Amino acid sequence: MSTKEKLFRVWSEEGFRVPVFGQRTPPPSLQTQDDVHMGQPEMPWKTWHLEWFHDSKHNALPDVASSPIPASCSERAADLLWPGGAADFELLPIFVDNEPWRLLCSTRLVNCIDRESSDIDWSEREEGGRRIQSASHIRWINVVDSRASELDAFRLSIQPKVWVYFTERFVRRYFALGLRGVRFEHVGYIVDKPEDAIPPPPRPVVHPPQAPRWPKWEIAPEEEVAHFTQAGETFMQTRGLSASSEPSAVLAALAVEIEAHRPGFGKLKPKARKELLSGLAGAFGLLLRRQLHWNWVDLQVTSSAWDLGLASPNISHALCLNQVMVRQLTSPEPSTIVLLFNMIASGNLPDAQPGDHVAIG
């Protein structure tokens, strides 16, 4: 009779940190900035920052599944799990905040992998004139070796030899002892024969994010168009600009005004804020109208509120003028109004069909 036992990877309950488990109230997960002391806390013979868990190249949080030390546990938890000593781990004694812990250093290697029924991303590199294949990511693994189920955990012989897999036997003992602090991700099986291998689950289909669309739009009210037009013309006149001014000059004036008010925009009184927005939005709207022939449109911005915007000639894209300017004035980054106009002018916009009214800005 063939047997099938599950394989697991372990994660912190708190996210991508070095998981720590113990009884009832486990200590917090280790983080990359923590100091780990070998020896006594007051006289350590070795002190580490947890740098080996840290991907400095990408400045990423540690992925505990890619470390030969997949977890740590309280001293008491180690004594409960392995009262006679751990066969599959080297229990490295450490102190963190003067508390005794154990790092679990995996000592077992397993090489009986059924590649056909596993889901592995492979990469190749050249080293010493030889092509070396290594696993860049393992989503699902079938190990064809019934003896592996007698272990608590192991690493695979394929490069890199860093992923640690916990067996069903260990997981059952973990829960039976009432330990807490980690969660187990089911990532494969141990089987007796290749024909017993469990096919990997289908990879999730990743759909490209859909660009947001305006739910409703109407013909723009004439009085709103007149208000924005007057506010935009006033903005340009007070800066020595006119309808015949170069787009770059208008955009430069807009960028200067946005930068001048960005630090204190949130402190402006409602009337001053409204006047500022009207001038900026009006000037940008007139620029799009005159240079790119975009058309006025009334957009539904909430379930009960509408606001003036512009739509492309084929109505594939639309933007709300006030929203564009509010984002410019509240962003922690410098103004991108010039970049936005250039993107629109070059047609570098989200995919859309005529009539879609995809929201931009």
pLDDT of 241 strictly over 80: yes
pLDDT tens digits, 197-206: 999 999 888 7
- Could you report how far apart the first and last alpha carbons of the chain are, in Å? 63
Q: What integer pLDDT is reported at residue 14 of this predicted model?
A: 55
Quick one: average pLDDT of 274-285?
A: 94
CA-derived radius of gyration, the chain: 31
Segments in 159-221 forming alpha helices (H): 168-176
**The pair of three-digit structure tokens given for residue 250, joined into one six-digit string:** 């208008």
- 142-189, pLDDT tens digit by residue? 999 988 999 999 988 886 666 789 999 999 999 999 998 888 999 999
Considering only 17-21, 222-226, 302-306, 336-340, which range has the smallest mean pLDDT?
Answer: 17-21
Q: What is the mean pLDDT of residues 231-260?
A: 93
Residue 259 CA to residue 64 CA, distance in Å, equals: 43
Q: Mean pLDDT over all residues of the chain?
A: 83
Name which of 169-173, 228-232, 347-351 the model is least confident about. Answer: 347-351
Closest residue by Cα to residue 179 from 27, 357, 6, 339: 27
Domain ranges in the chain with CATH number 1.20.120.1090: 217-359
Count other Cβ atoms within 10 Å, centred on residue 302.
8
Which residues have CB under 8 Å from 110's CB, separation 6+?
Answer: 143, 145, 148, 151, 154, 155, 156, 157
Region of residue 47 (phi > 0: left; psi between -120 and 50: alpha; otherwise: beta): beta
CATH topology of domain 217-359: Four Helix Bundle (Hemerythrin (Met), subunit A) (1.20.120)
- Greatest Cα-to-Cα distance within the chain, rounded to the nearest angstrom: 89
pLDDT value at residue 133: 79
Check if the beta carbon of residue 307 is closer than 8 Å to that of residue 347: no
103 and 96 in contact (C-beta within 8 Å)? no
Residue 53 and residue 45: Cα distance in Å, rounded?
A: 21
Buried residues in 21-45 as b, exposed as e (16+ CB within 10 A)? bbeeebbebbebebebbeeeeeeee
**Tokens of residue 272, six digits:** 């001053």
Q: What is the pTM of this model?
A: 0.54
**262 secondary structure, DSSP code:** T
C-alpha span between 210 and 352 (Å, rounded): 10
Task: Using a pLDDT cut of 70, give the percent of the chain over it.
Answer: 83
What local confidence, expressed as pLDDT, does residue 48 receive? 47
Residue 289 pLDDT class (50, 70, 90 cuts): very high
Check pLDDT > 70 for residue 35: no
For the residues 244-250, what does the mean pLDDT come to?
A: 92
Q: What is the pLDDT of residue 17?
A: 56
